[in-house]
Amino acid sequence: MQFVRQSLCVRSYSSYTKIRDISEVLIGSTVEIKGWIKAQRFMKERSFIDVNDGSTKQNLQVVIEKEHKKPGHASSVYAKGILTQTPKGQLEVIADDFQVINKCDIDNFPFLARKTYPPDYIREHLHLRPRVSSFASMLRVRHHAAASFHNYFNRNGYIQIHTPILTSNDCEGAGEIFTVKPNNEALLKQMAKENVPIDEAFFDRKVFLSVSGQLHLESMCHGLGDVSENQKSPIHLAEFYMIEAEKCFVDSIEGLASDIEDMMKTVTRDVLNQCEMDVVNASPDRKRGDYSWLDKPFPTITYAEAIDVLNRNVDKLKSPVRFEEGINKEQELFLVSHVEAPIFVVDWPKSLKPFYMKQNQHNPQNVDALDFLTPSVGELVGGGVRESDYDRLSENIMDEIKWYLELRGFGGVPTAGFGLGFERYLQLLLSIHNIKDVIPFPRWAHNCQT
């Protein structure tokens, strides 16, 4: 058997070098770079310009002769010259060609050179936040984290599914959903049917922005096996990203917890290996966070045990502990601090979890659900084993999602799954307090800029 390798000649139209790759270029070579001015120092004979192109936290120093006009802070520039190394080992470009691509209106630009700004101020300029070094680092970390989650699921045999953004059901049952209809009254009147409200004329029913792809993901699981999705979900922030996974032939909460622990540790180590410099730069105090939890087993306690711990420490809490109301964020963080590690809370009361969670075989008032609690953010992952008993599920299901019940009638199998809030994961990784600072364009109540 012979194999023929076919080569294609592809012309590259990217003639300049990314600053992140500059260390791979031989000293003495001619390079071209493009980027934005981050700082500049003017001497009698020469000027030293720090340029950054967004590919890395590191700036590259460009040396230009005095005949070049002073470029202005934050202007976009092009430089071509010889790559050299200073006596201290720093790479720099001695430019023989230096051009300003576009000047920055510095009088109205909100971020000055070598000055730090509080997050609240930076947030006032959402469209310009990538020009701030720490926020640019956060975006690169976000990219690597998303890729690491994707790679993790791919390596472990999951199939990615694009679940619908529009849905006719509220699978979480919380009612915190956005209704969708065309912004065109004439179209709605044209499509109207008898006995169908005008607001529902387009789909003949109420339609919402999805808050979770879990139900649709589970339907794909019955045929494909293990599946995952990365969903943009309009709740809490008003809009955030959720990573959801569903696994076939699983009827154990212990197995699900083990999978989540492996995912958390594998992905976090991968991100730290790929971009630790950006992780540090994106963190508020510019220091490496405490990741000692990576080397600890994650303990598991029941909901009843968690409530017992909280009751025994009620004097250390500001909020009252009520069994029937669940565990709030203050209490979640206390539990994590108490055991000195991220923690799984399992065996939840049926009344506190969605209808599709599996009834616990030892206590019918409980379900096989879990919350995964972490430092800084509290609940990061929610999940559980899905109810596979047709009769039991039919007692609780809503008419709008009878199709979900049919999964049990056509060769259904036990499944388990979870959802992870991606922005919350970034908060954990970067020790960033405000969730609005780990997403490019946050949307929240009374605010939808840009």
Walk me through the domains of the chain, giving residue ranges and CATH numbers. 19-109 (2.40.50.140), 136-176+211-438 (3.30.930.10)
**Helical packing angle, 133-155 and 422-430, nearest 10°:** 120
What does residue 340 show for φ and ψ, rounded to 5 degrees? Answer: 60, 40
Lowest mean pLDDT among 6-20, 68-82, 391-405: 6-20
* Residue 200 DSSP label: G
Lowest mean pLDDT among 225-239, 310-324, 401-415: 225-239
Residue pair 359/391 in contact (Cβ under 8 Å)? The answer is: no
Give how far Cα 248 sits from Cα of 40, 165, 209, 252, 418, Å: 58, 23, 27, 11, 12
396 vs 258, more confident: 258
pLDDT at 171 over 60: no
Query: What's the whole-number mean pLDDT along residues 98-113?
Result: 95
Neighbouring residues of 205: CB distance < 8 A, sequence distance ≥ 6: 168
DSSP 130-157: GGSHHHHHHHHHHHHHHHHHHHHHHHTT
* Residue 244 DSSP label: E
Torsion of CA 91, 95, 99, 103, to 10 degrees: 40
pLDDT at 391 over 90: no
401 vs 167: CA distance, rounded Å: 10
Classify 406 as helix, strand or coil: helix
Residue 327 has a pLDDT of: 97
Residue 185 has a pLDDT of: 82
**Helical packing angle, 253-282 and 422-430, nearest 10°:** 60
pLDDT at 7 over 50: no
Residue 89 has a pLDDT of: 93
Residues 430, 372, 276, CA angle at the centre, nearest 5°? 20
CA max distance for the chain: 85
Buried b (16+ CB within 10 A) or exposed e, 308-347: ebbeeeeeeeeeebeeeebbbeebbbbbbebeebbbbbbb
Give 106-151 pLDDT, tens digit per residue: 999 999 988 999 999 999 999 999 999 999 999 999 999 999 999 9
399 vs 105: CA distance, rounded Å: 59
Q: What is the mean pLDDT of the chain?
A: 88
* Residue 129 DSSP label: G
250 vs 304: CA distance, rounded Å: 24
Three-state SS string over 293-333 comes to: HHHCCCCEEEHHHHHHHHHHCHHHCCCCCCHHHCCCHHHHH
Measured in whole angstroms, the distance separating CA 64 from the mean position of its chain's CA atoms is: 41
**pLDDT-derived band at 204, boundaries 50, 70, 90:** confident
